[in-house]
Amino acid sequence: MIDTIAAINDLESKIGKLDPICKILLVYDGTLEYILSVISNNIRFEVIKQIEYEQYIEREVRLEGRFIINATSIIYKDALPSKALDAIRDRRHGIGKILREYRIETFRDIIEIGFDKTLYRIYDIIHREKIAFRIREDILCK
């Protein structure tokens, strides 16, 4: 786990002052889709690509509202209940919404915050002491 405040300060020393809401999006450890709905009344969610392999699912999604988030996820199938996997396969909802709907207890561990053409963060979502998701979110602040 990184020191998110130090990571934000380091990032701002390299690229300049960040919008306060962008800072929140980078360090927030809850459901991003939920916090975005509070910021923007209308959020559009779209699964761009989803490929299932034997051990994991690769998934790319886009959340669009006041901010645009492009997320790439590796979903480890053996770490999740089948009802959550079925909902992921259905492609209608984001990971956070699925976890919330099925009341799956998780912990988010932010691994990296940075800038590479866009602001980004990489984090794991851990369920029952196993990494269930590895996610990279690219955040486009308008």
Write out 7-37 in H/E/C secondary structure: HHHHHHHHHCCCCHHHHHHHHCCCCHHHHHH
Which residues make beta-bridge pairs with 49?
A: 60
CATH superfamily of 4-141: Chorismate lyase-like (3.40.1410.10)
Domain residue limits, the chain: 4-141
Q: For residues 43 and 58, what is the distance between their CA atoms, to the nearest angstrom?
A: 22
pLDDT digits (tens, 9 = 90+) for 44-100: 899 999 999 999 999 999 998 888 899 999 999 999 999 999 999 999 999 988 999
- Give the global pTM: 0.91
Share in percent of the chain as helix, strand, coil (round to 5): 35, 40, 25
pLDDT at 11: 92
> Is the pLDDT assigned to residue 142 strictly greater than 70?
no
Residue with structure tokens 């300060």?
9
